Chains A and B, each alone.
Chain A
């Protein structure tokens, strides 16, 4: 087997002689997968990747579709929307429009990764490097995951949720449960306290505490809604003005779980389950670029390391590189295949460039990244992975070179103008604004409307008022009425949503819709 020139930057534990390739065929066997995994694990250890133990599961294409349609949860409660997802996946797959995901990896301890049996051996190796060492180390290291998810408890919690939902279905009927789940799903993205650290979830604890909670909650809610009027109190204008909640609440599901007046205890528990799942997915939604970039960077680096050691041959590398370049392909904005920036490409480019800045800094790098240029690349990359999310990661590490390579440019679309304006491109004056704009694009509150619980008319008609704060005059989308109906189902009394710009209400939504005539 021939070896191309050794990459100079591998750690210094290189054996002087070339190893023999682990295999030369593309047929995989369990024995070979094990050998590859061990070899990859050895390389990963050289680079200091710290991972949860891995559990690699070989599955068939149908099973992959199953996994795919339950948003990657290995166990989930039953809901029609997963069925819809499944039909959609199956259709795409059968028509050959869509390859199935090469891999699904679950943030759990042990970290579960699925390999599809149809994959060739190089693909399996790529997936192992990508998922079992790339994503896995990200799950274990990144601060958002450390804060928001408890990898050791998630599977148990999912099992608990599945049983609980099934039990409710038995007791209260599938339809009743489905209604609640539909409504909760509509608000799933609003089930997180963005600034508070949540209590870790644990299935055993949940089950044990659940009874206790049922009683306690009912008591608490009764307290809140005790509405025997006390005249002198109502006279007091200060008290009357007081809003509930005193501070706006961004966690709609939590607020509903704790305060909705009419929900039965089992319904509250279901709200809680969906909220906890929303919380579990919260870090993933904020680290897509980093997470995929990190995993892609490492499958690339680890497999090259194996090549350097002579553990894989040229044929293997060719197949691997072909898949790799498909993964990081970025169609330009005017391509029919364009659907936004490819997170794999962006993340991979930033991490790769970060390494270059450390190892071979140019003057530009020294100016832009004085702390990083010329530093130990492994330490720098690990630091970046541990302590950032997409928004801050881009703000901190997107280099002019990457902007140039991807030929990034920013376009402003203002409905008041009759043309688009290019506001920044990949040139000297443009780098900083471009970077800021791209970072903002990955800010969750820029991507999703900012909606908070504003007030509950505790002493009046018990109506719930939500407030939307538009950014740059962007209004709410067409689903809003529908979502408000779901909020109404959960809350049980009138629900209002107002868009407030500079203290002025610019748009209102109501459920039930008020009669057209002037209501006095």
Chain B
């Protein structure tokens, strides 16, 4: 037969629809954003890094076409008659609509759909989550920790391993060299051959004196010599070889360090800590989207501060009073010891229920203003309390007035407010 051509396309790209899918998401981004922020409210902490199912009312995404409406007189032929004969009448079901208006309207699952539901991936989820948010004072610090390299093409080189030999380039070079070395000689050969032919074509002279036999012989010898020369030019030579060159390029990686400061004194309940945790998680995810490398430092404090690991930070219980300045001081020490502001983007988030020893609050304010804020990109303070503010809040308000660029504070009363507050803190400022 031979007219059939069988092709294996399985290895061809399967993401042909990616662009169209992306277009769809872009078009309905408002719907999706709403779904995403609702999802953040509802989800538990450990759950933020996951895709989400999004529903959009079908009527919002309908593609309208002219079609028949209900009403008038329609006749439809159906299969599967059992008991009816011509002229029978059938009661119309109550309520308008009744029988579907016929072919073409039914949805693929056989039932009417009011919602168009689909999945977005985790990455898209985060994109929508942090859409419109911007890192405050995003500064590209010195490249540090360039742990990865990209290999990029960088022209050709005359030395290399056989695997990188570029055949076309090499042969092109060889060709050029052969032309360069042999061209003049070949031209000479052609000239001499022409002379030779002319001499040979000359009428035969019986007189050896007029006969050009010696000239002919000389020409022939010269031609032979030149030809031998040309023949000695090698087809390809070492110097023709060209190798593809790749050079290492450091992949720029800006790094950030995030300080999580939390009050763990007796007044902080587990509920407070959960709320704080969500806030920290949001911040962490947000930074992760923007920086390749992020260090997280957990500092907890009651009357004294301590650097701890994540587990201890969130789940061990403490009692006692509160001295916030201890944490600030520790943070400053850690920055000095490990995170030079020249190389790190430093972010800090502090969560507290607002309790502090009254004597300490002015100290905090001073520490922040003079020691900490000059070093950090951004310092966010969330107070988790439904009650009235205490001393610390008012001190911090003064700071906010002085450092509107790098300091922000908000109050959170319950878990549902975290995301809005987070957004507010990191909202994209009009450029």
Contact = CB atoms under 8 A, between A and B. Distances in A.
Tier of interface size on chain A: 35 or more
Interface in A181-210: 182, 185-190
B6 A37 contact: yes
Given A37-B4, A83-B22, A340-B102, A420 B69 contact: no
Contacts of B4: 34, 37-38, 41, 53-56, 132
A63 B14 contact: yes
A408 interface: yes
A474 B109 contact: no
A211 interface: no
Contacts of B3: 41, 51, 53-54
Contacts of B104: 340, 447
Contact of A110 (B5, B82, B117): B5
A341 B87 CA distance: 22
Nearest to B101: A477
A422 B119 contact: no
Which label, helix, strand, loop or mixed, suits the secondary structure of the A interface?
mixed
B63 A81 contact: yes
A413 B110 contact: no
Contacts of B87: 421-422
Contacts of B66: 189-190, 448-449, 451, 476-477, 479-480, 483
Contacts of A83: 17, 19-25
B163 interface: no
Interface string B60-92: 011111111111111111111110111111111
A33 interface: yes
A421 B19 CA distance: 50
A440 to B, nearest CB: 8
A419 B91 contact: yes
B8 A30 contact: yes
Interface in B195-241: none
Nearest to A92: B108
A418 interface: yes
B340 to A, nearest CB: 44
Given A408-B81, A478-B69, A66 B74 contact: no
A90 B6 contact: no
Given A340-B103, A448-B67, A65 B75 contact: no
Interface string B273-300: 0000000000000000000000000000
Contact of B76 (A88, A413, A478): A413
Nearest to B107: A339
B64 A479 contact: yes
Nearest to B6: A56
B43 interface: no
B27 interface: yes
B21 A86 contact: yes
Contacts of B338: none
B71 A409 contact: no
A67 B103 CA distance: 24
A341 B17 contact: no
Contact of A472 (B63, B74, B88, B100): B74
A69 B6 contact: no
B243 to A, nearest CB: 37
Given A56-B5, A62-B15, A475-B70, 17 more contacts: A37-B4, A51-B3, A58-B10, A87-B118, A97-B108, A132-B4, A186-B65, A341-B77, A408-B78, A408-B79, A413-B92, A421-B88, A422-B85, A449-B67, A475-B69, A477-B66, A479-B64
22 contacts: A56-B5, A62-B15, A63-B16, A66-B15, A69-B20, A83-B22, A132-B4, A174-B23, A178-B27, A332-B82, A340-B103, A407-B80, A409-B77, A422-B87, A422-B88, A425-B81, A441-B76, A471-B72, A474-B68, A475-B69, A477-B66, A483-B66
- Nearest first, the 4 A-B pairs at minimum CB distance are A332-B80, A83-B24, A474-B72, A83-B20
